[in-house]
Amino acid sequence: MRIKLKRFGSILTSRPAGREAALAIKAYQRPDADENIEIDFEGVLSVGPSWLDEVLSELRREFGSSRVICLPTKNPSAIESLRVIDS
Amino acid sequence: MKTDTRLRIIKIISEECGAKPIELVRRLGISAQAVHRHLKALVSAGSLEPRGRGPLTRYFIAGAVEIDRARQWYSSIGKPAESPSEFICETRDVLSARLARLSSLAGMGLKEDDLPLVISVVGEVGNNSFDHNLGQWRDDPGCWLETQVTGGRLWICIADRGQGVFRSLSRVDPALQDEQTALLAAFERTLSGRAPEQRGNGLKFVKNIIAGSEKRGLACRSGAALVAYGQLGGACQKELSRFSSQSCGTVTLIVWGLE
C-alpha cells in the first residue's frame, strides 16, 4: 500500500497536523495483513521532522516498524527529517 | 573633512541601526543639504541603502538586516504598543499560510534545493512557539515571522512572547540550572518541555541544516541566554545581542546566503 504524502499538502509541518494525518491514514487506508506501507514523498515541497515523526511513529506503532518503508527521495527536507527521526 | 563626516554618518547609522536625515542633522550639527549630499555619495558608493519613501526614508548600512520592529515587539516589558498583522502569526493556521508564501523566495536567488530546507526550518522554529506556549502567552499570542532579502542574504526572524525555553525545559529536567544551559540543551539534546510526549528533535534538525553550508547561520535568544550556530551565526548573534535579556520569550534569527 502506498501513502502519497502530497495528498496531505505540499508543505507538511507541525506535530498536530502530522498527528491528524496519521489518524486519517489509519481510518481510510488500511493495508492487507501481509502488505507493506510505502511512504511516497513525490510531489512534496517540504516536510519537517515533527510532522513526519508523528506519521511514522503512529504507523510503526500500529503496523510494525518493518512494514513501514520510506521510498527513496531526493527531497532534502525529507532526507534531513529522516536523519534526525531515525538517529 | 568629507571623509570624517561620512565616517561619522556610518558610525551613527550602524549604532542606531538606521537613521533619518533629520536625525543626522541634529547629531552632526551640519545643514540638511550637507547631510543629503553625504548620504547620496554613500549610497552611490554602496555603503548605505535608503528604505522607505519621502519623509519616512531611513538610511541603513547596505546589506544589513533591519529588525528593529521585531526587537521592540519582543523586548517590550508590557503589552507591545505595536503588533503588526503583517508579521504576527496569531495561530498555527496563519503560520502555515505564511510558510506557503516562502515559495516566492525561489525567485530571489534561493537555490532550488534550499527552498525545502528553508521552509522546514522556519516551520520547525515557528511551530515550536505554539507547541510550548499554547495557553502560556504573556500577552500577544502567536509568533512574529519576518523575512528580508538584503546584501545577498535571506534573513528570517521568528519571535514569540511565550514562557521561554528555561521555564519550559526546567519543568522536565530540574538539573538545568540556568537559561543558557537550557537553551543549549534545546538544540543539543532530544528533550522537550512537552514530556512525556515523545518529541524534541526539531531543533536538532534545524542545527544540522544550518551546519550543512558555510553560507548559513542561526542565533537564538531566550531570556539572558544566547546561542549561535553555523559559519554566519556570529552575524545573527550580533543582531540578537541588541534584544532585551529581560524578555521571557524566544527569538531566532536565521541567515541564508543567496546566489
Domain boundaries, chain B: 2-61, 68-257
The most confident of the ranges A19-33, B51-65, B217-231 is B217-231
Question: From the CA of A58, how many Å to the nearest CA of chain B?
Answer: 11
CA angle B71, B130, B93 (to 5 degrees): 100
Whole-number percent of chain A with pLDDT over 70: 100
A61-87 per-position pLDDT tens digit: 999 999 999 999 999 999 999 999 988
What is the phi/psi pair of residue B51, to 5°? -135, 140
pLDDT at residue B2 greater than cutoff 80: no
Taking the mean position of all CA atoms in its chain, how far away is CA B153?
13
What's the rounded Cα separation, in Å, for the pair B231 and A68? 37
Contact A48 B115 (CB under 8 A): no
Nearest Cβ partner of B120 from A17, A53, A81? A81
Question: From the CA of A56, how many Å to the nearest CA of chain B?
Answer: 12
Label residue A48 by pLDDT band (50, 70, 90).
very high
Report which DSSP code applies to B241. Answer: T
| Strand A37-40 versus strand A2-4 pairing type | parallel
Q: Which long-range contacts (CB under 8 A, 24 or more apart) does B186-191 make?
A: B187/B220, B187/B227, B187/B229
**Contact at 8 Å (CB) between B49 and B60?**
yes
Average pLDDT over residues B171-197: 83
Contact B208 A84 (CB under 8 A): yes
Terminal alpha carbon distance of chain B: 38
CA distances from residue A76 to A22, A48, B67, B85 in whole angstroms, order as listed: 22, 10, 29, 31
Which residues does A contribute to its contact with B (CB < 8 Å)?
A: 10-11, 13-17, 45-50, 53, 57, 75-78, 80-81, 83-85, 87
Contact B205 A11 (CB under 8 A): no
Contact A46 B120 (CB under 8 A): yes
CATH topology of domain B68-257: Heat Shock Protein 90 (3.30.565)
Q: Is B113 on the interface with A (CB under 8 A)?
A: yes
A3-13 per-position pLDDT tens digit: 999 999 999 99
Residue B235's nearest CA partner among B158, B159, B153, B116 is B153
pLDDT at residue B196 greater than cutoff 80: no
Q: What is the mean pLDDT of chain B?
A: 92
Architecture of the domain delimited by B2-61: Orthogonal Bundle (1.10)
Q: Is B191 on the interface with A (CB under 8 A)?
A: no
**Contact at 8 Å (CB) between B212 and B200?**
no
pLDDT at residue B195 greater than cutoff 70: no
Contact B115 A53 (CB under 8 A): no
